[in-house]
């Protein structure tokens, strides 16, 4: 895709969501790491409901490993996969205490070695907590990137990330990540995207297909029956 076309997409989404930001509530790098870990296969809204009380009860890594696993499981029971996530949290906290003085490491290659922390989580943490440019690819970012031809339809999550990093100026990686999420979450939804009012319909292969199908269906509905 040409630089001008990418610029058009970025500017258009930027106009729609100029104030896009991380919607996971947190006050420091540690809380953000826990929140992102909990958000896997779960909505940010649900995570925020749980962390309101969770972050009041658990202030530091030592707090999470000072309670029985069953108690932590109960505190995050509303979160999907809560049993595995509780185990990851306690293991992660033990490592933070033993190896990093209770602090979340800033280096991406160290973050991804922590239990429950994958590449996406590490990207979110380094960009939002430490100000390091990064593009975290979640389901929204992947869907939007593929629909707008910023990535190939068969690209893996890592390939989508690499394509976006190549196409988007580095100093815009983090804000682009947030804006793509907002665009996918509130406009270009997986089901019933707002194609009919989308300012990027001209460059969206998915939107063109959907609108064409809608026109054909409408024509059939208005065809006189013999």
Active-site residue list: 120, 138
CA–CA separation, 213 and 24 (whole Å): 37
Place of tokens 């979340």: 104
Exposed (0-12), middle (13-18) or buried (19+): which is 70, by Cβ within 10 Å? exposed
Token duo for residue 140: 């929204």
Residue 63, Cβ neighbours under 10 Å: how many? 12
Report residue 155 CA to chain centroid gap. Answer: 17
């Amino acid at each position: 895709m040409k630089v001008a076309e990418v610029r058009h997409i970025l500017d258009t989404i930027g106009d729609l969501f100029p104030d896009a930001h991380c919607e996971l509530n947190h006050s420091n790098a540690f809380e953000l790491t826990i929140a992102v870990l909990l958000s896997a296969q779960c909505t940010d809204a649900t995570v925020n409901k749980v962390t309101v009380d969770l972050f009041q009860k658990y202030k530091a890594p030592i707090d999470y490993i000072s309670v029985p696993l069953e108690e932590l499981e109960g505190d995050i029971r509303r979160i999907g996969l809560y049993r595995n996530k509780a185990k990851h949290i306690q293991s992660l906290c033990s490592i933070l205490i033993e190896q990093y003085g209770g602090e979340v490491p800033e280096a991406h290659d160290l973050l991804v070695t922590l239990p429950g922390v994958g590449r996406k989580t590490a990207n979110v943490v380094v960009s939002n907590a430490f100000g390091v440019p990064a593009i975290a690819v979640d389901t929204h970012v992947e869907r939007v990137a593929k629909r707008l031809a910023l990535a190939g339809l068969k690209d893996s999550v890592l390939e989508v990330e690499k394509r976006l990093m190549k196409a988007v100026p580095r100093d815009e990686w983090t804000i682009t990540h947030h804006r793509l999420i907002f665009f996918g979450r509130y406009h270009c939804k997986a089901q019933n995207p707002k194609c009919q009012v989308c300012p990027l319909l001209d460059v969206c292969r998915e939107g063109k297909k959907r609108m064409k199908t809608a026109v054909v269906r409408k024509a059939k509905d208005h065809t006189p029956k013999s």
